[in-house]
Amino acid sequence: MLFEFETVCVVLQKCFLSLAGFIYDSTNNYSIPFYVCGAVEVLGGILVIVAVILKQISKSSMQSMMENHMIAVDNHQTSKLH
């Protein structure tokens, strides 16, 4: 999942770098392309951070579900023994 977000960020960066050249040609000013590319970098970083957080959340919830299932199975087995 993290690899997919990184790939999307790289593709967006390449697209916006091409767009930056077009914006400079239209305005003869590097300010707008500079800020646009910076915003894309920040957005990419935020997406990666969100992906890592979501991965941790799903991993911990999956572990919790597995533990609850194991407890339920264990309780079911011990109730059969009595």
Query: CA quadruple 47, 49, 51, 57: dihedral positive or negative?
Result: negative
Tokens of 74: 């264990």
pLDDT digits 0-9 by tens, 47-65 = 888 888 888 888 777 677 6
Q: 10 Å Cβ neighbour count for 64? A: 10
pLDDT of residue 80: 55
Helix (H) or strand (E) holding 33: helix 31-81
Model pLDDT, residue 65: 66
pTM comes to 0.52
Averaged pLDDT in 10-residue chunks for the chain of 82 residues: 68 76 86 82 84 83 67 54 52
| DSSP helix/strand/coil, 30 | coil
**AA identity, residue 78:** T
DSSP SS3 for 29: coil
